[in-house]
Structure 1
Amino acid sequence: MSATVSHASRADVAAAHRVVIKIGSSSLTGADGHLDVEALRRLVDVVADRRAAGKQVVLVTSGAIAAGIGPLGLAGRPKDLATAQATASVGQGLLVARYAEAFAAHDLRVGQVLLTVEDTVRRGHYRNAQRTLETLLDLGAVPIVNENDTVATHEIRFGDNDRLAALVSHLVRADGMILLTDVDGLYDAPPARPGARRIPEVRSLAEVADVEVTARGSSVGTGGMVTKLESVRIATSSGVPVVLTRADQVRAALAGEDVGTFFAVTGKRASRHRLWIGYAARARGRLVLDEGAVTAVQGGRASLLPAGITAVEGDFDAGDVVELAAPDGRVVARGIVAFDAPELPQLLGRSTHALRDALGEGYDREVVHRDDLVLVRTRRPARV
């Protein structure tokens, strides 16, 4: 996705018709490990006021495992998968019941949507999730989205709800996203360090590439600032402005006030098809390109032809998403491949004319058509 100069401001988030709000476990859980019902109600009051103003809100909430810790008498967040899943099973029911009760006080209904990675990486599931969320909004309900921790495994999961929130923003074509956490924004150093200052606005993540951030959040959460910046990258590169702030500042953030850190959009809004290719789908393999093909692909107007491929990695089928890598290993794009992996080695480095003569019609087509190809931004990660 090509870069663009952004003139977005906090006012765009304030005016957004549809906004995704993500709240983390640390903001919903008291020191005793129990769900903080008053904190949940304060958030619901803000969302209800937003709804009363004619706006739509999708709420991505953590807290299922944290909510189950107290009722099960556990000392802290479970370390093993089976106990974590059981705790989530107990906590999820409690969590959504509290949301339903709090929203009912404002005469609003909620709809629970539990997602797994498979619901975004598989195209059919992705479309089903999108339709469900859109229908809930059309019916006037507030979607309450969470990862389905009761069935997610360590190997196949989002890992935190920050990335999930960015993908949900894409699914519902949100006009803005609010990330709520236990710190009041991104700082130019660890917030506890004397002299650390809040960064009020970021126009490009390259501006904060050298900022020192922590890799882990609170004891009851799974994310940290690293995952939040990754969520910001996914959202802003596809046209969704983001405000990162503390949970008690959500009303001010939605009003466009100078709280937290505002992240401007860095890319144009793309179709759901391209967003799925670029961010949601799991890559099943990799094609290594020569320098000429890299230049052509990055130009944004060329399909990938067999002549530009030097190596094939992985076991994939036609219709799967694969990574396109430069000779040095940098991933420069992702796309839907038109051939099965075993078919490609005989095609490598050969022109479409030569393939037509040698193998017949059908083998002279693009390996990845430009309509099914999405560029990947290379970036220097923030310092951990």
Structure 2
Amino acid sequence: MSASSAVPASESGTRADIATASRIVVKVGSSSLTSVAGGISEMALHKLVGVLAQRRQAGTEVIVVSSGAIAAGLLPLGLVRRPKDLATQQAAASVGQGLLMAHYNHAFLEHGVTVSQVLLTAEDLSRRRHYVNAHRALERLLHLGVVPIVNENDTVATHEIRFGDNDRLAALVAHLIKADALILLSDVDSLYDGPPSAGASRISRVDSPEDLEGIVIGAAGKGGLGTGGMATKVQAALIAAETGIPALVTSTENAAAALSGEDVGTWFSINGNKRPVRLLWLAHLADIRGRLVLDDGAVRAVRERHKSLLPAGILSVAGDFDAGDAVEIADTAGNVFAHGLVNYRCSDLPAMLGRSTKALAKEFGREYEREVVHVDDLVLLHR
């Protein structure tokens, strides 16, 4: 991140600000909602809903991004673990989503709060018309005092258009509705600098991705019911923070304390400005079809001077892509530092490498004067 876009820690807020936030997104994972025997844990869900309903009744707009549909469908289908194949995942989600919503509807109604079901795919947040429709629907629901329950539409989503985990979906929904904060809840109370069982220390605050260098972050949680784990929560928190929305990672048990602004969990402070949704899609959702490796000069031009990528700076090309597809951009050490939309087919590029656009235009025609990746179609990654 360039120095001009960074936000000083003193200006990026604290977890105490959650107590007065007017609009929040709360994501809850499968492991927090399911019982040991399988299916939805009514006790856990009702406890969480009580906390969220109280906050809604106090005037805060609350959006819940909830996992659990596939997990809820396992027991009725006689399955003992989360299926690995897409078709069975879709079947379990189809059975479980209705059960999950029935539990939410019943629990919130006990507090006089109306909920709605909102199912999204990655396409809904990457295509302009779909994005506008999703934004309009959520805004209207919030205006009517409804608590939207958002989930990925697992029943129809394919491998190519899936978010992959609801943590990332929650970060993008927070961006979509311009939330004041994102809270990511699971069965782990905080991010630690090592295994908690080995006496590791809690990481209270993260001000930039560099704060996490050298820290090993765990994968999926207990029972194998979810698709994420701490790694996806950290990624989602960083996505939110780099787009101007602070995030808190903590346990469902700490939900009430988190919403009160108490010192729990790991706080990810704002370290960037809100990005256009198109660049968010390119950074986190685009189907990457190839890789371009740049020489040192081109790396500096793209990463430090924010220039378009020209053929003269490209050393090698990999993948099978057409003009308009997304590709990753790497240095000679293999570090991927950007994504971009390429203007040429993969078969066109080998003959162009290392050559100036002027020379290419003279030999092949004026259409070869354009950049390989224009700066407006390029996004730097903060990893």
TM-score of the superposed pair, with normalisation by structure 2: 0.88
Q: 2:245 aligns to what?
A: 240
Question: Which residue does 1:296 correspond to in 2?
Answer: 301
Aligned to 1:348: 353
Letter in 1 for 2:298: A
CA distance in 1, matches of 2:250, 2:133: 31
- How far 1:296 sits from its partner (Å)? 0.4
Structure 2: 5+ residue stretches without partners: none
* Distance change >3 Å, CA 109–CA 341, structure 1 → 2: farther
Kept in 2, the 8 Å contact 1:66–1:77? The answer is: yes
Asked whether the equivalents of residues 335 and 374 of structure 1 are also in contact (C-alpha less than 8 Å), the reply is yes
Take 2:355 and 2:136, find their aligned partners in 1: how far apart are those partners? 43
Instruction: Please tell me whether residue 101 in structure 1 is matched to residue 106 in structure 2.
Output: yes
Residue 215 of structure 1 pairs with residue 219 of structure 2: yes
Counterpart-to-counterpart distance in 1, 2:290 and 2:112: 49
Q: Distance in 1 between matches of 2:288 and 2:86?
A: 25
After the TM superposition, which of the residue ranges 74-83 and 253-262 deviates more from structure 2?
A: 74-83
Give the structure 2 partner of residue 167 of structure 1: 172
User: 1:16 aligns to what?
Assistant: 21
- In structure 2, the CA distance between the partners of 1:327 and 1:209, relative to structure 1 (3 Å rule), is closer
Q: What is the identity, as a one-letter code, of the residue corresponding to 2:23?
A: R
- Greater displacement, 149-158 / 81-90: 149-158
1:220-271 per-position Cα deviation (integer Å, ceiling 9, x unaligned): 3232222222222222222221111111221221221101111222222222
Work out whether 1:271 is the aligned partner of 2:276.
yes
Summarize the Cα distance change of 1:340–1:268 in structure 2 as closer, same or farther, 3 Å threshold.
same
Partner of 1:6: 9
- Mapped contact 1:2–1:267 kept (Cα < 8 A): no
Tell me, yes or no, if the aligned pair for 1:13 and 1:177 is still in contact at 8 Å. Answer: no
Work out whether 1:198 is the aligned partner of 2:202.
yes
2: CA distance between counterparts of 1:197 and 1:84? Answer: 37
Q: Give the match's secondary structure for 1:165.
A: helix
Question: Do the aligned residues in 1 keep the contact of 2:309 with 2:372 (CA within 8 Å)?
Answer: yes
- The AA in structure 2 aligned to 1:221 is G
Superposed CA offset, 1:300-328 (max 9, x none):
43111222223332232333222122122
**Are the counterparts in 2 of residues 17 and 175 from structure 1 also a CA contact under 8 Å?**
yes
**Which is further off, 19-28 or 205-214?**
205-214
Per-residue CA deviations over 1:186-222 (Å, capped at 9, x if unaligned) read 12332233x3332222223433333344322010323
Contact preservation (8 Å) 1:121, 1:282: no
Amino acid aligned to 2:2: S
- 1:58 maps onto 2:58 in alignment: no
Q: Give 1:51's aligned amino acid.
A: R
TM-score by length of 1: 0.87
The alignment yields a C-alpha RMSD, in angstroms, of 2.6
| 1:129–1:288 Cα change, 3 Å | farther
SS at match of 2:366: coil
2:328 paired with 1:323: yes
Letter in 1 for 2:61: Q
Given the superposition, is the C-alpha separation of residues 303 and 131 from structure 1 closer, same or farther in structure 2, using an over 3 Å criterion?
A: farther
Equivalent residue for 2:34?
Answer: 29
SS state of the match for residue 45, structure 2?
A: helix
Q: Which moved more, 1:315-324 or 1:132-141?
A: 132-141
Q: What is the aligned length?
A: 377
Q: Deviations over 1:153-196 (max 9, x none)?
A: 56764333222222222333322111111121112332233x33
Deviation at 1:292, TM superposition (A): 1.1
What secondary structure is seen at the aligned counterpart in 2 of 1:343? coil
Residue 221 of structure 2 aligns to which amino acid in structure 1? G
In the alignment, structure 1 segments of 5+ residues that lack a partner are 380-384
State the one-letter code of the partner of 1:201: R
